[in-house]
Structure 1
Amino acid sequence: MVAFDDLLHARLGGMQDAVNDWTETVKRLKTLQEKAEKGMQHKAEKADWKGQNAGITRPFIKKTAKEFGDAAKEAESIRNILRDAHHEFKSAKGKLKKIVEDAPGQGIRIDSDGTVSYLVHPDRRAKDYDGPKPKQADFDHVRSGIKEAVATATEADETAARALRTLTGKDDNNFSGAEYKSLKQAAHVQDAEDAKAAAKLVAKGDDASPEEIARLNKYLMDNKGDAYFAERFALAVGVKGNLDYWVDMGDPSDGSRLALDHQKQIKELQQNWSMTLAEATHSHSPAMERWKSDVISSGTDVVQSRGTSAYGFQVMSNLMRHGSFDTKFLKEYGNAVTVAESKMTHNGALRPGQVWNAGLGMAPHLSWDGKDLGRDPMAGFMEALGHNSQASTDFFNSKIDVPGEHKPVDAFQYFTKDRAWVEDAYKDGYGPKYGYDSLGHALESAATGHAYDAPAEGLKDTRTVDNAKVVQKIVGFYGSDPKFSHEQGISDSLGKIGSAYIDEFNRSMEQDDPESGREIDNSPFGANLANGTSRFGAHYNDNLLFKSGDATNFMSIVAQSKEGHAILSAAQTVYTAHTLGVVGPEPGSAEIKNTDMTDAHTTVRVGAETHGILDHSRMGQIDQDYEKDSEEKKKAIAESTEWIKFGTEAVVGGGITIATEGVASPFVPLVADTVGSAVVSGLGMYADNEAESYTENMDKELKKKYDDLQSDALAQGKAYTRLPVTAYVNAPGWSEENSNFVREDLTGVVKSARVQFTDSDLPDPYKKDD
């Protein structure tokens, strides 16, 4: 891989000289080629030779003349490769150089390894600082530009190196005869060669050696993200080969122990294979359109190996767990597998688990990621939706027509409520756990507008009204009864969804009337576009996504679990700090009137009330789950405050991610202009201090009696609720007098807001049926 610093300071003059030299060499060799073919070879063919001259000399002359032609082709190909590679390097270097030169003017520093940071960090700016103040979008733009330039140079370097090795060949006595008109053509030739070689290894099935599986993995890894290779591989293996391979790999009855003894390699192969097929589906060539159609039409076919069998949908869904598949393909696949399941179960008369393996031989081991065995085709399909937000949003907002049925299937209702998820063996037991996990991932994707496991860097607030429609269904369903989230075990996903809409939840919870669908006038929450309007359309400028009562029920139920409580508590803290920094009086204000504090009061009040709901919901569930004064109960209470172990340094465009202990990172939408503000940055420092104190005192806390420990935990929750206020009043610019005034004023709001409701206002804790 080309390093940032190497590309920035690359000396390309020598490469241009090489291009010029090879251009001259091509001219000379073509002259020699013409003389050899029209002179020496032409005369030899006309000569009336007999005996050894005819049998040896003439073929030798003909072969020698051909070598001149091959030499000319090879020289021209080398020139073409060097020419195009030079162009790519020069273009990439130019882009990188401009990014580096422009960065200081944007207030951005770029280190020698390509690391991007503030030229002057906000915490170190003088009061009279009037230099550039980069937004998160500026950092994202610089990082993506660097990444793109380095990637372009790296790809050109690797393609050129391989092409030149091919051209020079392994024969010391003959020219290779290979011919490349461009670097792009060389890349396609290399892709086709790799795909053909990979397909040959696939044809060996589970008779392949571990070394051959390693080689197959390398082909897929080296060509990751390469659309041309992906299509060549998918077509070379074929739909039938694709399905047969994975059924055979999971069949131990033929004596092969390849998958059993090398599970790590097969797990890697499944992931690489899935990502390759995902890339291939974005091609719309006639051949790939047929491939996609054949995959769907083969879904109900029985794929047989020596001792096992599975339906095509079962196999293919396990090859969809990674990568972003084409949206149209996912919609058609999802409709087809849902229709197939409806027919097989006679519209719900049978359970899906009864039919997917009914009448078949022993079920094969179809998934090697260590999560389950891959029996339920819907689990893998949900993972695919989890990686394509457009497809998942469309799917959960759709109704699927089933031939012969009068009523179409509501996709959201079917998969969240009506469907009995297939039980399967997984690491810690037997049941539908992985299927529900995958459902949660698909819902995250549909709600947030990005893949559920998308990296934080460069993430943007992409929520649309279609995403919001899915969230309205999620809040209505999972907020109606705690059994759904508890029995499905997806509180972590619901917590992430709640954190992504924390602004809209605050907007709803400002409303006192639990049945009102109207926003409080001049609310500081919700509308987060630059012009002050809702990103969900004009209707939501004044109307709420969720009624106050529905918002309370959903957040309370999600917070009953450890994961949901942690994610929502961290999200609420960050959002309160952010909003306070936006709507409160600006630090440094000479005079603060009571009316200046209205929005600050609202922000802190709603934040404190929300934290009260979350903390009491978690305590109520702990009371339900454990026996009084048991060590497990005391530990659960102590852990209810460990969500404070988050950092606010991982800032992303249009929002901020926060990592909570032991759970996935939620995404909190913020106004992009204020990301990196002194208030949010300060919050991270105070949270770190609290986390350190929490760790130091854990052993001491666990020695307390249950009642004392619970009281202390709720008191600690109240203290954490004040952290946004602390970060706000300690932001640079405040006079000591105003800082003290604001601290006292807002602390009073926090204290009174925490007692505005009683436990009876919240949904009952979940109680398992005996």
Structure 2
Amino acid sequence: MLTYQDVVTVDLSRLTTAAVDWDRMADAFKELERVYKSAVESSANEGEWVGVSASAASTAFTGTRKQFAAAQVEARAIASILRDAHGQFVRLIGRVKDVVEDARKGGVAIDSEGRASRIDAQLVHVPEDHRYVRAPDKSEIWERTLKQAVQAVDDADQGVKLALHDAAGIKSLFQEAFDAATGRAHEFNADAVGDIEVVEARLAREYADEILAGKRPSDLAEWQRLMRDNSDDRDFSRTFLNSLGPDATLKLSNKLHDLAYFDDTKSKQAYLNINGGIADSLASATRVPQFKNADGKPLRFGTTAYTEAFEQWKKTPEATFYNEWRTGLQKHGDDEYDLRIAGERHAVGIGHDQKVQGYQTLATLLQHGDGYSGQFLSDITDDMIAAETKDPDIWDLRGTFEGKDGWFANDPVDATLGVMARDPETAAGYLDPGTESGKEHYEYLLGKDGRDWDVVDTVEYRKSETYGRDVEDADSRHGLGLALTAAATGMDPTDPNAQAVGHSEVNDRVFKHSLEYLSKQGDDLAPALRDDLAKIMINHGDEVYTAMSDQSGTRTPLDQEQVQEITKQISRNRDSYVILTEGMNYAIVDAFDDKTRAPEDTLNAAGYAVGFMEEARYNALQGDLPDMTWDKAWSYHLTGAALNFIPGVGDIAQRGADMVTTKWIEGEMQRYEDGLVKDSKTTYQTRQDQLNALAHAWHAENSEWAENEPGYSKEEGIYNRIRAAANDGNDKNDGVAGAQER
């Protein structure tokens, strides 16, 4: 394998120089062919030489002349490969150098061996504290990133070697011996290909054929390299996938999964890597261009202008692969395929040897890849919906597929929505209630009378085994929740390092429509969406906090009844309740620093918001079927599970929020110990520790003002004011929430 030093010191100019020499060689062979044809071959065909000897000579001379022609093909192919290699290496080595430079800017130095180390002198200015602090040590991350960049160069180098060997006709020892025996050992390669990706695609197809024939690949490591090196290349991807076609591609993916999870588990990761490469190839092969308006600005997916541009593009030759593959997937989407995780799930009876649908295989494959065009994901999701509309039981299988078996997408619509969530703009466009198609998607997927989510067949035992009613899978709506979160926040909820971003008009539309549409469902709201709604609420924390804390009901841009109902539904699950409360604590503490409002207003608003949430929590626990986890003792520590959804988290002004949350959790735990989980004790008693912490946080931001105002000079007085506001908010929200008399 190439080293970092090899990569940064190589002289790439030799490749282009060699390419010129090989082109000159081709020209020389062309001239030799011309001279040979006119001076030698013609003597046996056009002169006075006749008879058996002339015929034999003609055959030999023609064969020699064809070798001159083949030599030209081989030489020009090698020249083309060398130029292709030069372009690839320039790009990939440039990426290595960029990583080194970016690491340096981030306070990490790279030595001559490619090892990363922290630059001790690197300091970061924290203006709020008027000091400099040492930058966090990210040397390990940068070293790993650099190794990946060097690996990409080595992968390309192996591809160049493969293509050069292929063009030069270099074969195995067995094939060389066979050619020598048949007199072909020294022939030039008339079929030489000057495209590295085409050569690699052919080899990848050979490995695929081995799998499809029931064998194991002869070189698993090389197949991984082929896919790793080329799956983002459109020419490779289209050549490889076109050689298979949709039907064989789906069969291949299933066989790779069978090998990974059943037949050859020791090489599991290798097979999954290859499936990932196939998925990435499908992404690059079906990639739709970025359409732009007259000013050169990208058109947003889901808009009328984008749709019109896409419809025009579909009529062009460039869209041929896209169109043909979508048609092929439609054709095979409801075909049945073998997959061991389904077929062998039950040894006998209903469900034994059950088959999976093509779209279930496709969705399972898609989960391995990235970089899909939004239009492609939208189209195939629509195609899946069309299939299930025609046959509502099309995805039904006996058995659940979650946990360790969750890799199989028994609900392909939900799984594909989960993939869509990785691209928030696509998710937003797909669920945008401001468009006709988006509103249709939203209401079909989230409506009480919309989609049939029961994809699990059950059995009943009477005199014999018979079908029971369909039920939901344990991870039902997981993908939908991710897509809804992405659409409403503009964030990728699958990325643990994602950070809150500014909201687009579509994000706001999805958020407000969700409040209106889902609040009407009341206690029928799907429990699986509670965590997602909590993250959406704290991501729109400023607006939600205004709604929760606005005593007059005149400042809020949101409907307080809708916010109260969604808060209630979130509070029916402990973990969702934790996410929401933690996030709102950040919003409350952040508001303490709002210098545009009178300090006493920010204090009263905080108490009123706490009362608002307490009322929702109380109402949630009065239902007939509250989440039973509320009745169990639990512990908590700040995991940060939802912190990246909170805009501006990490600012100096919000440091007090952690303490507020910690004190709130301590109060909650005490509540359980005292048996007050469903008790109607007033807010100021059940949230005493939290309110004390809020009073302390408020005083830290407003101490100068507080010292000059009667009743605010001591934190006890501040606590009494916030407690009164919280209790007042609790009482007033009885009307908002329609709570029962206590």
Q: TM-score range by the shorter chain?
A: 0.5 to 0.7
State the partner residue of 2:348.
Answer: none
State the partner residue of 1:524.
Answer: none
Per the TM alignment, residue 163 of structure 1 is displaced from its structure 2 partner at its CA by 0.2
8 Å Cα contact 1:513-1:548 kept in structure 2: no
State the partner residue of 2:489.
Answer: 448
1:553 alignment partner, one of 565, 568, 571: 565
Establish whether residue 411 from structure 1 lines up as the match of residue 479 from structure 2.
Answer: no
State the partner residue of 1:424.
Answer: 456
CA-to-aligned-CA distance 1:490-533 (integer Å, 9 cap, x gap): 2111111112211221232343345x5xx36xxxxxxxxxxxxx
Looking at structure 1, the residues matched to 89 and 576 of structure 2 have their Cα atoms a distance apart, in angstroms, of: 53
Alignment of 1:62-77 (within 5 A): 76=79
Establish whether residue 490 from structure 1 lines up as the match of residue 521 from structure 2.
Answer: no
Per the TM alignment, residue 667 of structure 1 is displaced from its structure 2 partner at its CA by 0.9
Per the TM alignment, residue 74 of structure 1 is displaced from its structure 2 partner at its CA by 7.7
Per the TM alignment, residue 421 of structure 1 is displaced from its structure 2 partner at its CA by 1.4
State the partner residue of 1:382.
Answer: 417
1:238 alignment partner, one of 237, 245, 254: 245
State the partner residue of 2:304.
Answer: none
What SS is found at the alignment partner of 2:646? strand
Per the TM alignment, residue 15 of structure 1 is displaced from its structure 2 partner at its CA by 0.8
Looking at structure 2, the residues matched to 381 and 147 of structure 1 have their Cα atoms a distance apart, in angstroms, of: 30
Looking at structure 1, the residues matched to 99 and 408 of structure 2 have their Cα atoms a distance apart, in angstroms, of: 47
Looking at structure 2, the residues matched to 16 and 110 of structure 1 have their Cα atoms a distance apart, in angstroms, of: 27
Alignment of 1:173-188 (within 5 A): 185-186=195-196, 188=197
Looking at structure 2, the residues matched to 377 and 300 of structure 1 have their Cα atoms a distance apart, in angstroms, of: 12
1:437 alignment partner, one of 460, 478, 485: 478
Establish whether residue 756 from structure 1 lines up as the match of residue 736 from structure 2.
Answer: no
CA-to-aligned-CA distance 1:196-240 (integer Å, 9 cap, x gap): 235424533xx3448888876665455454444443343232223
Per the TM alignment, residue 559 of structure 1 is displaced from its structure 2 partner at its CA by 2.5
Establish whether residue 203 from structure 1 lines up as the match of residue 200 from structure 2.
Answer: no
Tell me: CA distance 1:439–1:75, structure 2 relative to 1, closer, same or farther (3 Å).
Answer: closer
State the partner residue of 2:406.
Answer: 371
State the partner residue of 1:706.
Answer: 675
State the partner residue of 2:327.
Answer: 293
Per the TM alignment, residue 565 of structure 1 is displaced from its structure 2 partner at its CA by 1.2
Tell me: CA distance 1:167–1:35, structure 2 relative to 1, closer, same or farther (3 Å).
Answer: same
State the partner residue of 2:512.
Answer: 472
Tell me: CA distance 1:45–1:91, structure 2 relative to 1, closer, same or farther (3 Å).
Answer: same
CA-to-aligned-CA distance 1:338-396 (integer Å, 9 cap, x gap): 4444444xxxxxxx34x655xxxx87999997128644443234324433434433333
State the partner residue of 1:528.
Answer: none
Q: Which moved more, 1:31-40 or 1:154-163?
A: 31-40
Superposition RMSD in Å: 5.8
State the partner residue of 1:282.
Answer: 287
Per the TM alignment, residue 558 of structure 1 is displaced from its structure 2 partner at its CA by 0.9
Alignment of 1:709-724 (within 5 A): 714-719=687-692, 721=694, 724=697
Tell me: CA distance 1:495–1:212, structure 2 relative to 1, closer, same or farther (3 Å).
Answer: farther
What SS is found at the alignment partner of 2:452? coil
Tell me: CA distance 1:78–1:214, structure 2 relative to 1, closer, same or farther (3 Å).
Answer: closer
Tell me: CA distance 1:301–1:38, structure 2 relative to 1, closer, same or farther (3 Å).
Answer: closer
8 Å Cα contact 2:212-2:251 kept in structure 1: no
- Amino acid aligned to 1:293: T
State the partner residue of 1:163.
Answer: 160
Looking at structure 2, the residues matched to 469 and 717 of structure 1 have their Cα atoms a distance apart, in angstroms, of: 33
Establish whether residue 575 from structure 1 lines up as the match of residue 548 from structure 2.
Answer: no
Tell me: CA distance 1:297–1:567, structure 2 relative to 1, closer, same or farther (3 Å).
Answer: same
Q: Which moved more, 1:36-45 or 1:502-511?
A: 36-45
Looking at structure 2, the residues matched to 24 and 373 of structure 1 have their Cα atoms a distance apart, in angstroms, of: 52
Tell me: CA distance 1:299–1:118, structure 2 relative to 1, closer, same or farther (3 Å).
Answer: farther
8 Å Cα contact 1:422-1:432 kept in structure 2: yes
- Amino acid aligned to 1:158: D
Tell me: CA distance 1:449–1:395, structure 2 relative to 1, closer, same or farther (3 Å).
Answer: same
Tell me: CA distance 1:616–1:764, structure 2 relative to 1, closer, same or farther (3 Å).
Answer: same
Looking at structure 2, the residues matched to 59 and 72 of structure 1 have their Cα atoms a distance apart, in angstroms, of: 20
- Amino acid aligned to 1:294: G
Per the TM alignment, residue 336 of structure 1 is displaced from its structure 2 partner at its CA by 4.0
Looking at structure 2, the residues matched to 613 and 2 of structure 1 have their Cα atoms a distance apart, in angstroms, of: 62
8 Å Cα contact 1:372-1:434 kept in structure 2: no
What SS is found at the alignment partner of 2:727? coil
Structure number with the bigger relative contact order (C-alpha 8 A, sep ≥ 6) is: 1
Return 5+ residue gaps in structure 1 as ranges: 135-139, 251-255, 345-351, 403-407, 521-543, 585-595, 647-658
8 Å Cα contact 2:201-2:237 kept in structure 1: no
- Amino acid aligned to 2:156: T
Q: Which moved more, 1:72-81 or 1:464-473?
A: 72-81
State the partner residue of 2:11.
Answer: 15
Per the TM alignment, residue 753 of structure 1 is displaced from its structure 2 partner at its CA by 3.3
State the partner residue of 1:645.
Answer: 638
**Identity rate, percent:** 14
CA-to-aligned-CA distance 1:17-51 (integer Å, 9 cap, x gap): 74587478659867975897678998775789979
What SS is found at the alignment partner of 1:757? helix
Looking at structure 1, the residues matched to 222 and 400 of structure 2 have their Cα atoms a distance apart, in angstroms, of: 23
CA-to-aligned-CA distance 1:303-335 (integer Å, 9 cap, x gap): 699965555545444444454543333434444
Per the TM alignment, residue 645 of structure 1 is displaced from its structure 2 partner at its CA by 0.7
Looking at structure 1, the residues matched to 726 and 398 of structure 2 have their Cα atoms a distance apart, in angstroms, of: 55
What SS is found at the alignment partner of 1:435? coil
Looking at structure 1, the residues matched to 489 and 406 of structure 2 have their Cα atoms a distance apart, in angstroms, of: 24
Per the TM alignment, residue 451 of structure 1 is displaced from its structure 2 partner at its CA by 3.3
Alignment of 1:454-533 (within 5 A): 454-457=495-498, 459=499, 461-485=501-525, 487-514=526-553, 519=555
Looking at structure 2, the residues matched to 43 and 62 of structure 1 have their Cα atoms a distance apart, in angstroms, of: 11
What SS is found at the alignment partner of 1:121? strand
TM-score of the superposed pair, with normalisation by structure 1 = 0.65
CA-to-aligned-CA distance 1:119-163 (integer Å, 9 cap, x gap): 533458874x7x9999xxxxx9xx999999997776455323430
State the partner residue of 1:610.
Answer: 609
8 Å Cα contact 1:448-1:463 kept in structure 2: yes
8 Å Cα contact 1:309-1:364 kept in structure 2: no
8 Å Cα contact 2:395-2:411 kept in structure 1: yes
What SS is found at the alignment partner of 1:478? helix
Per the TM alignment, residue 625 of structure 1 is displaced from its structure 2 partner at its CA by 8.3
8 Å Cα contact 2:589-2:697 kept in structure 1: yes
State the partner residue of 2:179.
Answer: none
TM-score of the superposed pair, with normalisation by structure 2 = 0.67
CA-to-aligned-CA distance 1:538-558 (integer Å, 9 cap, x gap): xxxxxx1x2122222222321
Tell me: CA distance 1:191–1:456, structure 2 relative to 1, closer, same or farther (3 Å).
Answer: farther
Q: Which moved more, 1:321-330 or 1:432-441?
A: 321-330
State the partner residue of 1:669.
Answer: 647
Looking at structure 1, the residues matched to 699 and 209 of structure 2 have their Cα atoms a distance apart, in angstroms, of: 64
8 Å Cα contact 1:365-1:373 kept in structure 2: no
